[in-house]
Each structure stands twice: as C-alpha cells, then as structure tokens.
Chain A
Amino acid sequence: MSEKTNRFLPYMRQDRLPHIFCPGCGNGAVMNAFLEAMEKAEMDFDNIAMVSGIGCSSRIPGYINCDSLHTTHGRALTFATGLKIANKDLDVVVFSGDGDAASIGGNHLIHAARRNLNITMICINNNIYGMTGGQVSPTSPKGIVATTAPYGNYDTPFKLAELVAGAGASYSARWTTVEMENLVLSIKTALKNPGFSFVEVVTLCPTYFGRKNNLKTPTAMAAVMKANTVFKSAAERMSEKELKDKIVVGEFANKQRDELSEVLEKFSIENSGGKTAVNSAYETEF
C-alpha cells in the first residue's frame, strides 16, 4: 500500500468498511484496543479464533480478518469451549455483549469461569439492549429510562466483573472506553493469562442509552462516564452512598490455578495413551 492508512486497517476486512456501528459507539474502539493489545502481547494473528453470539458487539469478529464463528444467541461460550478442547493450541477470543453474556448466557458465563477454561472473553457492556431497540438489560443501572422502563428502572444491576471473579475466573477486570491505555494493557494481560480471563468494557450507546437519558451526543456521554469512574483502590474507602451511579474500574481477580484443557489432556494421556480419550473395543479404527 503506497497510501498511508490507519495501523489497524490491515487486520480488518476492508471491503466491509465503514462498519454498521452508530457514530460514537464504543465497539470500534474496543476493536482497536484488542488489535493493539494483540500486537503488544506478540500473539500470532493466524492462530486466533474469534467466537461471538448475537448483538451489536458480536459483529466485531465479522470485521476482523481472522477465523471466526458467529453463533446462536448467548451460546458463544459453549461453542468456544468445544473449539478450545478440540484444538488446544488455538487462542480463542470471545466477544460478547451484556445481553449475550449476562442475560441469556448467564449460566454459561459462570460455569466457564468455574471450569477455568483457557480462553479470553471481552464483554462489551453498554448497559442496554442496543440492537433490538433499547430495552432494559441485566446490567442497566437503577433509575435509567429505557423503552421497556418508561418510568425508570427499578432493578439492581449485575456487577459482571465481580460476579466472574467470585465464580472462580483467574483474571477479571473492568474498564471503560474513555481510558484506552489501561484497557489495552488489561487486554494484553488477559491474552497472556492461562485460564479464564474476563475483561468487561463499559461503553457508550448514544443512540439508545444516551438519547433517552438526556445525553444526546457521544461527547456528553463520554464526559459523564469519565466523571463517574472510580478506581477500585479509591472505591474501597468510599461508602455505599457515595458509590451510587459510579463505575468501579480495576482488576478484581488475578490468580492462576489449574486449567481445563490441560487437565483433560493429561487425563486422556493417563487413561488411554492418546490425546483424545477413547476407551472402546474399536479403538484400532480411530
């Protein structure tokens, strides 16, 4: 290419650009952050397989020029589990939204964290169901106005990073899209970490979240998000009243333990001698 182009464009399917995300949507920034983190972690781009479910954020693997699976709603982690156990050498990355990961795939999320499978999951949390028209999602903050909550949301939201850390993941963090440097370094750590690595990214949704909550421009949403961000170390010293409507960012878990795909391989070598556990009378045929 003689003309000077953006540094992330060579990794992407350029015939599909510009992408369908709304102006100001954080999904494109998370895509950039992932590509930069992949460069910093010195991973092999051809060895990466991306899995996604249904949603705005799950369209990201469609724009990146690598092997990808676009699966059914909420089941991205189950497909990723099969992919990782079938081929242990692949670097599996799961992109999913908050409705995909926390609502319909909530059980898959906590059980993948409990098993500690060696995959990286990036959950893009825009606090609302963006693709279907702005309904209330399990991560919507208390008091926001949405299509299905015209008088305000009464439910308490999920805290995904804490939930996954409590379920036993070996790495769990939460960042926002207005602090790119921390996000890039966190995704880099998550890609290198052996075990289930979860990064929750709180993004802007100016079209459906912002328009109904008097934050009509992306800049206004980003300014409010930046003002409401509190680091974990500072949040420990704050009372619950002060922490209302605040986004606590930081690393919530970072400790390694046994990882599922290696445990399974060791088990099958001990019991059947091969990498696949086959215990059958027709063993010679395999």
Chain B
Amino acid sequence: MIIINEDLCKGCHLCLFMCYKNVYAISSEINKKGVQLPFVKFEERCTKCGTCEVACPDQAITVDLPDNWWMDKDNDINFNPHFAKGRK
C-alpha cells in the first residue's frame, strides 16, 4: 500500500517520472494549496522497489511493506533501533 501525505506534497510530479512501472497518475482536482496531487492508479504494477520514497523531495510518499523495520507495529517510536542507541 502506498500512502501520499497531502500536507507535504508540493505537486512536482517527479514521482510519475521516477517510477519505473508507471504506478502514479495526476488527479484532475486541485486541493486547497493549488496542487494537483498524484494518486496511486495502478497499484498491482508496483514492485515495491522504494525509488519513489527516496526520490520524493518532500518526504510525502510512504511505501508500506511489512518486511521493512520502519513499518513494524510493535516499534512505537518508528525509528531504526540500531541508530537510536545514544538518543535521549
């Protein structure tokens, strides 16, 4: 499942360009910021490579994968435990 954060997206549409499988499409409606948001049209094409997650300049895309540590339900801080050792 792919989640797009509507508050962070600025509508650059680079996710449409970067996606290798053409999962995304542009919506015809304009939201209150004046942005034509992308939406996930063909989710069955997605290979879950995660390129859109890294390439999104506004950190708006989340690719929900149960294998990834940051999607673990028990992990209540949503933070990689390997890097959080010294954090107070």
**Do A29 and B54 have beta carbons less than 8 Å apart?**
yes
Given known contacts A7-B53, A8-B59, A46 and B86 CB-to-CB distance under 8 angstroms: yes
> Cα distance A266–B18 when bound, in Å?
48
Choose among B11, B56, B78, B80 the residue that contacts A29 (Cβ–Cβ < 8 A). B56
Interface of B is mostly: loop
- Answer yes or no: B12 CB below 8 A from chain A CBs: yes
**Do B17 and A6 have beta carbons less than 8 Å apart?**
no
- Answer yes or no: A178 CB below 8 A from chain B CBs: yes
- Answer yes or no: A149 CB below 8 A from chain B CBs: no
Choose among B5, B11, B51, B78 the residue that contacts A1 (Cβ–Cβ < 8 A). B78
Residues in B whose Cβ lies below 8 Å from that of A223? 17
- Answer yes or no: A23 CB below 8 A from chain B CBs: yes
- Answer yes or no: A15 CB below 8 A from chain B CBs: no
- Answer yes or no: A33 CB below 8 A from chain B CBs: yes
> Cα distance A1–B51 when bound, in Å?
24
Residues in B whose Cβ lies below 8 Å from that of A26? 57
**Do A45 and B78 have beta carbons less than 8 Å apart?**
no
Choose among B7, B12, B68, B87 the residue that contacts A23 (Cβ–Cβ < 8 A). B12
- Answer yes or no: A123 CB below 8 A from chain B CBs: no
> Cα distance A27–B5 when bound, in Å?
19
Residues in A whose Cβ lies below 8 Å from that of B71? 4
**Do B54 and A36 have beta carbons less than 8 Å apart?**
yes
Residues in A whose Cβ lies below 8 Å from that of B87? 45-46
Q: Mark B77-88, 1 if CB is under 8 A from A, else 0.
A: 111101111110
Residues in A whose Cβ lies below 8 Å from that of B84? 45
- Answer yes or no: B25 CB below 8 A from chain A CBs: no
**Do B11 and A23 have beta carbons less than 8 Å apart?**
yes
**Do B10 and A32 have beta carbons less than 8 Å apart?**
no
Given known contacts A7-B53, A19-B58, A32-B56, A218 and B12 CB-to-CB distance under 8 angstroms: yes
Given known contacts A4-B62, A223-B17, A27 and B57 CB-to-CB distance under 8 angstroms: yes
A191 to chain B, nearest CB (A): 13
> Cα distance A22–B57 when bound, in Å?
9
- Answer yes or no: B60 CB below 8 A from chain A CBs: yes
Apart from A6-B62, A10-B79, A24-B12, what 15 extra A-B contacts exist at CB < 8 Å? A1-B77, A17-B8, A19-B58, A21-B58, A22-B10, A24-B10, A24-B57, A28-B58, A29-B54, A29-B56, A47-B86, A178-B17, A219-B12, A219-B16, A219-B17
Q: List 23 A-B residue pairs with CB atoms under 8 Å apart, sorted by A's residue number.
A: A1-B76, A1-B77, A2-B76, A5-B62, A7-B68, A12-B59, A18-B7, A18-B58, A19-B58, A21-B57, A22-B10, A23-B12, A24-B57, A29-B55, A32-B54, A36-B54, A44-B85, A45-B83, A45-B87, A218-B13, A219-B13, A219-B17, A222-B17
Residues of A whose CB lies within 8 Å of any CB of B are 1-2, 4-10, 12, 17-19, 21-29, 32-33, 36, 38-39, 42-47, 177-178, 180-181, 184, 206, 217-219, 222-223
8 nearest A-B residue pairs (beta carbon): A28-B57, A24-B12, A23-B10, A23-B12, A46-B86, A7-B70, A1-B78, A218-B12
